Structures are given as C-alpha cells and as structure tokens.
Amino acid sequence: MSNPLRVIISGGGTGGHIFPAVAIANELRRRHPDAAILFVGANGRMEMTRVPEAGYDIVGLDISGLQRRLTPQNLLFPVKVFRSVRRAGKLIEDFLPDAVVGVGGYASAPVLLAAASRAIPSLIQEQNSYAGLVNKLLGRRVACICVAYEGMEKFFPADKLVLTGNPVRAEIVGGNRAEALAFFGLDPAKKTLLVVGGSLGARTLNLATAAALPRLQAAGVQLLWQTGKLYYPEAKQQAAPYAAGGLYAYEFIRRMDLAYAAADVVVSRAGALSVSELALTGKACILVPSPNVAEDHQTKNALALVGKGAAVLITDAHAAERLYDEALRLLADEPRQQQLQARVLELARPDATTAIVDELLKLIKN
C-alpha cells in the first residue's frame, strides 16, 4: 500500500449512524494520516452538518425513505433511487476509493450498490441487534459485515460476519469531571442528572423532564437536558426559571464527552450508540427505549444491559408516572450508582473501532 488510502464512508440520517462513521474515519486517519476520506450522506439530513463539524468532506445525495402511506413522494421514489445510484456511481468513478464503508441510513444503499457493481470491496457496520433494511438488502453484495450483537446470522451471510461491537468516538471516553462541571457552569457540590433523547430528542423524556423540574430543583439536583430540535424552543422557556439552580436545556450537546463526565446518573433512550457509550463511560443509567423503532430493537439493546444488572429499564408507557421517582431514588443512592457503574463497564467493548478498521484494511490489502 504505497499510495495514500482512499475510502468512501456512506450513510447517516441520525447520530446513531453518523457518529460510528466518524469514529471509523478518525481511527483510519490516526493510522494513515494521509488517507483521503470522503463521506456521502443524504441532503437535508443531520450528517450534512455533523460530518463537516468533525472535520471531513461530505457530498449529499437527493435520497429519502419510502413513506408508509401512499404519497406523491413515493411515486418519485424509484426515480430518486435510480438517480442517486447513478450519482453515487459517478462519485465512485471520480474518487476511485480502495474500499467503501456503509453505516446504514438512506445514503449507504446507492453507494454500496454502485461500489458492488464496480467490484470495489465494501464493508457494512450494523449498530443494532436488528438489521436495518438497507443493510439487510445489501448484506449479500458486500465483503464484510461488522456487528455489535450475536445472532446476526438471521439477517446476514454467516461467513461475512465479524463481531466487533459498535465504534464509539475515542474522545467520548475519559472526559474530566472538574473540566466538565466548569464547562456547563455546574456546582461540584451537587448531583448532576443528564437526560438524552438520542440524537433527535425524545418527546416522552421531554414531557417527563418538563414536569419534574420543580422536584429536581427541590432535591438540589442539577440537570443537563438534551431536548432535540423540535422541542427545544418550549424546553428553553420551561427551564429558564430554573437556571439559577443549575437546570439547563440544550437542543443538542456537542461535547457529549463532558456531558457524560459531569453526570452522576444518565436517563437515556436506548439507541445502539448511546448504549455503547454508557458502557464505555461506565455510567449509572436509566434506559427508556423508544417504542417507535423497527422490531422494538431499543428494548433489545436495553435488555442486554438490564439482564446483567447494569442498567434500570423504564418503559416509554410508564415514563410519565415512574421515571423521575426512579431517577431521584438513584441519584440519592450512591452505592447503587457504583454497582451499576461497575456492571455496565464490564459490557464495554473498547476495541470495536480498531477491530473494524483492521477488517477494512484487510479488505483493501486483499
């Protein structure tokens, strides 16, 4: 491998696809600083801002999902797919990658298809215990599939599977607590609760948190509340009267490393990357799986921890009633926090990103 490596990374839609892609790119660049890395995403989606923020170039395709109802957009869907496969093919012919990585989400389909038809080796990284549609359809056309859960033969050819775990951005781990508290303007003498609704925010968590603000303040607990874009204007107003007590709402937290470092307890959706990050950072957490995802896969993600005594589970349906009783109880119970921290740390897979990049480099070499 004398010429600099050239790799295209495709996919996105939500943070759960984008940040694993960034982790893979960072590790590739750490080992091959001269590697040329190009991201391909979907126009209008989160990757078009988050990837440049992480220091990489991205090209957007005009591609979206199929709506479940009959809509005019659906009639255009085949046309869009055809156009984006053609555009992806052109991108590949111009960039001439040694390999292509797909992380799931709309943009990875046309790129992986175009790579397969040009005999360019490709790798899929599947974050969940239930395979996404795009990944499932393309499993047979790629050379290697890196997964985070056992039993994925249900969805993919067994001989292509490698169990690596999910790639978490290296900087997420090891945030300094004192720096974190200062960064968010928090009081080191108080307990801190972090609430994260996945990369887009979660309505159930937002409603429960808004209702619990007076209780949190009365208990002397500080709050970092990530709301997502839609709910933020309302949350900002709801949280404003509590700012003096250290209760703050955020649309999106860029420094998740510091948010985890500041937190004594985390309330979170159970997206695959959130779960992997909670394990790596060793956080006492309460998981509220989203009921709105394919095959209820967040509940499966959560149960992988709960089954080992490494997290507390509250269902979405029970969150309004029980979430903050449980959160306040856990915040007041340090021995229980320590027990959860120790158990969740045992489930961390700190070598996932290196293992995935090893597989990618193997593909390129062969």
Q: Which residues contribute to the annotated binding site for UDP-N-acetyl-alpha-D-glucosamine?
A: 14-16, 128, 169, 199, 253, 272-277, 298
Which residues fall in the annotated binding site? Answer: 14-16, 128, 169, 199, 253, 272-277, 298
Q: Out of 26, 64, 164, 199, name the contact with ligand UD1 by CB under 6 A.
A: 199
Which residues from 203-242 bind ligand UD1, rule CB under 6 A? 226
CA atoms of 112 and 114, how far apart (whole Å): 5
CA atoms of 236 and 186, how far apart (whole Å): 17
Stretch that binds ligand UD1, among 14-22, 54-62, 215-223, 280-288 (CB under 6 A): 14-22
- Whether the CB-CB separation of 327 and 267 falls below 8 Å is answered with yes
- Whether the CB-CB separation of 121 and 364 falls below 8 Å is answered with yes
17 binds ligand UD1 (CB under 6 A): yes
- Neighbouring CB atoms inside 10 A of 67's CB total 11
Tokens of 128: 């969940």
Closest contact distance (angstroms) between CB of 1 and ligand UD1 is 30
Tell the residue number behind the tokens 């950072």, with chain if given. 281
Q: Which is nearer to ligand UD1, 226 or 337 (CB)?
A: 226
Q: Out of 84, 108, 128, 281, name the contact with ligand UD1 by CB under 6 A.
A: 128
Q: Out of 8, 293, 356, 361, name the contact with ligand UD1 by CB under 6 A.
A: 293
Name the region of 213 (left: φ>0; alpha: ψ -120 to 50; beta: rest). alpha
CA atoms of 242 and 227, how far apart (whole Å): 16
Q: Out of 47, 277, 316, 359, name the contact with ligand UD1 by CB under 6 A.
A: 277
Tell the residue number behind the tokens 């108080």, with chain if given. 190
Which residues from 91-110 bind ligand UD1, rule CB under 6 A? 104
Tokens of 161: 């599977």
Closest contact distance (angstroms) between CB of 53 and ligand UD1 is 10
Closest contact distance (angstroms) between CB of 293 and ligand UD1 is 4
Tell the residue number behind the tokens 């887009």, with chain if given. 200
Nearest C-alpha neighbor of 340 from the set 273, 265, 277: 265
Element containing residue 363 per DSSP (H, E): helix 352-365
14 binds ligand UD1 (CB under 6 A): yes
Closest contact distance (angstroms) between CB of 23 and ligand UD1 is 9
Nearest C-alpha neighbor of 10 from the set 65, 57, 69: 57
290 binds ligand UD1 (CB under 6 A): yes
Tokens of 190: 């108080």
Size of the site for ligand UD1 (CB under 6 A): 26
Which residues from 46-85 bind ligand UD1, rule CB under 6 A? none
Provide the binding-site residues for ligand UD1, judged by CB under 6 A: 14-17, 19, 104, 127-128, 196, 198-200, 226, 252-253, 256, 269, 271-274, 277, 290, 293, 297-298
